[in-house]
Structure 1
Amino acid sequence: MDAFSPSEQYLQDFHQRRPGATSAAFSALPAKTPSQAYKSSYAVLAAVAQDLSSSSTILDVGCGDGHLLGLLDACSPQSKLIGLDLSRGELDVARRTLPSRILLLRERAQQMSLASKSIDLVVSHMALMLMDDIEAVLSEIHRVLVPNGRLAAIVGRVFMLGPVNDIFLDIFRPIAKVDLPSMPMGDRRTRSTEGWIELFEGDFYDPQIEDVDVAWQPTPGELWDALIETYDIDRLSVAARLKLKDTLIAETSSMLDSEGRLRTGWGLRFIQASAR
């Protein structure tokens, strides 16, 4: 395996310390595209597999603790399932919870050991936008997909939904400017619809991109517990995190509803394309 970049080293450390953080954040919250409601953002991807034949092979890139693989196994039990991730900690959890017939690989998505044209569907939940050299990742995904095979992924769009996000960013940015060491993570093109369309040019066709809103009404304490499971806040010093927490709770106190909750959520994108 090639030497890991600083961001890859950090992501492995984070997920060794906090395996299952991503599925804990997203698996129990309802997700909605402009046309349909789903039980979660993972369910958006699981639904794509329902149209495949029973002999299909599905690869989950950045599979984490295997939550999506479990959903895929439930809805398409005859399919061959493969999960790929960098984190040994996440894969250890996945191995303990998933059936042994599901193959798990600790590999970089930029250089997979899978045979060319061996995969019918590639899925990925909240991982592609974090990866180094996204062009190499997409090239590898194209290599392993059969002609006309599909890529379907959930990626980030905006951090939080609604006014809570504006308040958070106004507080976070000056703190991060002083306290957060620079560590580029992902390609800027993965942050926009236009960027994804550009990235898909050449190897993929029929790109489809939809906004996905994951609604959430947390208490301030629940909001903070979720935020400390995110990468940038995890990287802040203890003092900076405390300052962020105190200021955020104070600034959002006037936004609480009658039950002491905030109306917010996570802003995601559902991207799809087919391999040429």
Structure 2
Amino acid sequence: MPSPSESYLLDFHARLAGVTSRWFASAPVQWDGETAPSSYALLEAVVPRDERALTVLDLACGDGHLMELLARRKQPGLSLVGLDMSAHELAAAQARLNGAATLIQGRAQSLPLGEASVDVVLSHLALMLMDDVETVLAELRRVLKPGGRVSIVVGGDMVRGEALEVFSKLLRPLLCEEAVPPARLGDPRVRSVDGLRGLFGAGFADVTVRSLSVQGDGPPREVWESLLTTYDADRLSPAAQASLEAAFLQAVEPLRRSDGSVPLRWGMRQLTAIREDRAA
């Protein structure tokens, strides 16, 4: 039986399957003076490029964009497994991948995989939404081979002075007016550096966390469409969404650049760690 938060997420992804890759598959990412084509590309780069037999698990794989990046390598010995609880996302992944990965409907808290059967676990914008995160991490330790690697991208801090801050300030009073409680998804520890390090402190080594700035710049209406698919905005009534849209488009006019775009940065974090050789 899904929890209330899982029920909401299942409904959201039934209505908006593929929405995560829609906004982030082509969004450049920066960190410490370096750049990458996307947050998905950062995760794809974690998987070694060699001819060893490697099994990669994409946890909460969505519509399969990350696995498609890996499948394009045509790398001998690379086996891809995608798990998601949404049948609608998995249907999109099946259409995208055309048999290039094994797709499983299931929950991260009870992985249908054998002990020490996976070399790399990747996950994009999902761990911060999951119930019972300590159970999820126990399952990751169980299925990862000793020395296996996990790398996840999760939400990070808000970038001030840009469209997301404008949007958030306009959103809060509407949530109060409609008596919509905040979307309490996942464990708040996953949303901070210290919390992440604490959670991965048992059974993992070489834990690194880096802060990412993901570029979502675009025309005001396109930026609005991306922000509308955030979980809190999604839960507003249609009338409140229309009111928020009008207020947002007016409020971001001072941010508009000469090319017509407005700045939007998504703060994210990437954690990478190694499964310790000894049992946790």
TM-score (norm 1): 0.94
Please give the residue correspondences for 1:3-82 in structure 2 after superposition, counting only pairs within 5 Å: 3-51=1-49, 53-75=51-73, 77-78=75-76, 79-82=78-81
Task: Tell me the number of residue pairs that the alignment of Structure 1 and Structure 2 aligns.
Answer: 274
Counterpart of 1:184 in structure 2 is 184
Separation in 1, partners of 2:131, 2:235: 19
Q: What is aligned with 2:244?
A: 244
Provide the alpha-carbon RMSD of the alignment: 1.6
Alignment partner, residue 219 of structure 2: 219
Distance 1:159 1:13 in 2: 26
Identical columns (%): 39
> What is the CA–CA distance in structure 1 between the aligned matches of 2:102 and 2:161, rounded to whole Å?
40
Q: How far off is 1:181 after superposition?
A: 3.4
Matching residue's letter, 2:175: A
Report the counterpart of residue 99 of structure 1 in structure 2. Answer: 98
Partner of 1:268: helix, strand, or coil? strand
Alpha-carbon distance between aligned partners in 1 of 2:152 and 2:70, rounded to the nearest angstrom: 14
Report the residue type matching 1:23 in the other structure.
Answer: S
> What is the aligned partner in structure 1 of residue 155 from structure 2?
156
Residue equivalent to 2:260: 260
Cα distance, 1:101 vs. partner?
Answer: 4.4
SS of alignment partner, residue 75 of structure 1: coil
Distance across 2 between alignment mates of 1:87 and 1:53: 32
> Deviation at 1:208?
0.4
Q: Matches of 1:210 and 1:52 in 2, distance apart?
A: 26
Counterpart contact for 1:23–1:65, Cα < 8 Å: yes
Deviation at 1:244, TM superposition (A): 1.3
Cα drift, residue 53 of structure 1: 4.9
Alignment gaps of 5+ in structure 2 = none
> How far, CA to CA, are the matches of 2:21 and 2:160 in structure 1?
19
| 2:252 alignment partner, SS class | helix
Asked if 2 retains the 8 angstrom alpha-carbon contact of 1:150 and 1:272, the reply is: yes
More deviation, 112-121/231-240: 231-240
43-52 or 61-70: bigger deviation: 43-52
TM-score, normalised by the number of residues in structure 2: 0.93
Cα separation, 1, equivalents of 2:31 and 2:61: 22
Bigger mean CA deviation after superposition, 16-25 or 29-38: 29-38
**What is the CA deviation profile of residues 98-145 of structure 1, one whole-angstrom value per residue up to 9, with x for unaligned ones?**
132411000000001100100000000011111011111111011000
- DSSP-derived class of the 1:147 partner: strand
- For 1:123-169, what per-residue CA distance to the aligned partner results, in whole angstroms no more than 9, with x for missing partners? 00011111011111111011000011111011110355643232222
2:133, 2:74 → 1: CA distance?
29
What secondary structure sits across from 2:63 in the alignment? coil
Whether 2:133 is the aligned partner of 1:147: answer no
User: Structure 1 residues 53 and 137 mapped into 2: Cα distance closer, same or farther (>3 Å)?
Assistant: farther
Higher helix share: 1
User: CA–CA distance in 2 between the matches of 1:72 and 1:132?
Assistant: 28
Structure 1 residues 146 and 100: CA distance shift in structure 2, 3 A:
same
Point out the more displaced range, 16-25 or 92-101: 92-101
